Amino acid sequence: MDIISAYREVGSYRGAAAICATTPKTVRRVIERHEGGGVAPQRKPRPRNYESVAELVAARVGKTQGRISAKRLLPEARAAGYEGSARNFRRLVATVKADWRRDHHRGRRPAVWSPGEHLVIDWGVLAGLHVFCAVLAWSRVRFVRFATDERAETTLTMLAECFETLGGVPKVVLADRMGCLKAAVVADHVVPTPDYVRFASHYRFRPDFCHGADPESKGIVENLVGYAKSDLIIGCGLVADLDSSTGQRPVDLAAANEAARQWCVEVNAATHSEIAAVPARRLAEHELAVLGGLPSLRPRVTGPAVLRKVDRLSCVRFGSARYSVPTTAIGTRVEVRTHADRLTILTTATPGSMTGGVVLAEHRLVGPGEASVIDAHYGGPRPATPVRAVRPKTAQEKAFCALGPIAAAFLTGAAAAGSARLGTELGELLGLGQAHGEQALLDALARATAFRRWRAEDVRSILAAGAAAPRPRPAGEALVVELPAVPTRSLADYAITTTTEPDTAVVDGDAS
């Protein structure tokens, strides 16, 4: 039975409540609403404890465009006379911020991409490794490369490589407000740098920039940056462990870019979930035909020329490191260019000359204080030990060094062994040469050097021994001993010869 029928039957609130299993107050409210025409009686409004600061909160929320927090605004409300709880104040701030956002929404609409229209670019960084990402908006073809910085020349070089990879140039390149491409901001409009304008004129595209603090306008590439970090950098293990000595993470940039090329081929050949098509196939079959053509030459995007003078070590200094060049360039001025992790050294053009721009050397960038040396620039590999040339000054030294490399080797070895009487014994050694002959002296000096005997007495003993001196050999080699020459006789001299006589026997006593 409903409440109204029960009340009509028993005539009391308490009796109707007992029949309907409810409370008398509920029965009274239902009967009063029924007698009033089915309209609930208006409740008397009760004042809120934060009404005195509601205008203050609304003003502060509007001034900060809905970004201020209740925690930061509560002290001002306390100073203005608010005495309620912090929880109730947070409800007020949340309600006011929701009302402000509802009235000030920008009214976004989804992007509608056209073939060959937009290329969206952005930079990301993870553990010191910078990643350049670009998305051809209509076909969703993705381009990813790595670099060590985000300078203007690096960005433009990456963009030129992206155009060459795509096989054409889109009409618009959309970027955020990159410091390397932005010269100024006037009335919330970005003024591109002159280098970027020249680059865009060369490739015939229009540079465009997003509004400030508006990452949603290029979310198509923001997703790619996050995907490249999680799936490519971390998934492929391109970031190594931190090096405790340098405080950096060593990264092989060439290997990282090769991994990026393979990764782009893989993801562009898979079906994209947003367009339900293969990006590479969509580019080849539809969008490539409407892209702009590539220019015949790539512009120079390496920034201002860096000139260096080749020092007497046949090196140039760049970034507190040394890089070698051929010795024929000592004393000349050369131009240094860098791209990614490579450094190129070229000759500079002289007025009226057509020989400028010849590549002298190419190196991989090294750290400060290090040196990158190519042995071919110095005529051969570096010797295992430093070479100290013998430079005679006195007449005896010149006469001794004139004997040749053997005498020079003897001098070098004796000096290294600390022979203090070497200078006074040169005259005695020259006298031994006059007595025994120059060749005999050279043989004795070679033997003395081999056995590390540096005194003139040792050389005299070797000359006195002559060929009879033993010549030790290392273990495992044949021992060759020179024996003195003696006269020899033929074996025929030792043969035994016999004579043949007639068979006549003489018997003693039978001569008659």
DSSP string, 132-165: EEEEETTTTEEEEEEES---HHHHHHHHHHHHHH
Question: Which residues does 39 contact at the CB level (< 8 Å), separation at least 6?
Answer: 33
Q: Is residue 357 part of a domain?
A: yes
Q: Same domain for 314 and 371?
A: yes
pLDDT < 50: residue spans in the chain: 242-244, 246-247, 352-355, 506-507, 509-512
Residues 160 and 133 in one domain: yes
> Per residue in 70-110, pLDDT tens?
999 999 999 999 999 999 999 999 999 999 988 887 777 78
Asked if 310 and 268 sit in the same domain, the reply is no
**Nearest Cα to 120, choosing from 111, 128, 109, 129?**
111
Q: Which of 378, 439, 389 is nearest to 411 (CA)?
A: 389
How many Å from the N-terminal Cα to the C-terminal Cα in the chain?
196
Tokens of 83: 């005495």
In a domain, 257, yes or no: yes
Any domain includes 383: no
pLDDT of residue 244: 46
The single-letter code of the amino acid at 169 is V
pLDDT at 502: 56
Which tokens sit at 475?
Answer: 């273990």
Whole-Å CA distances, 207 to 195, 245, 442, 469: 12, 43, 80, 89
Distance CA 255, CA 233 (A): 12
pLDDT in tens, 423-450: 888 888 888 888 888 898 898 899 899 8
What is the structure's pLDDT at 511? 45
Phi and psi (nearest 5°) for 318?
-150, 125
Question: 105: Cβ–Cβ under 8 A, 6 or more apart, which residues?
Answer: none
Question: How many domains does the chain fold into?
Answer: 4
* H or E stretch at 192: strand 189-192
Rounded CA separation 151/158 (Å): 11
Residues 16 and 89 in one domain: no
CA 417, CA 289: separation in Å to the nearest integer?
79
- Which two structure tokens, joined as six digits, stand for 384? 């295992």
Show the domain range for 89: 51-103
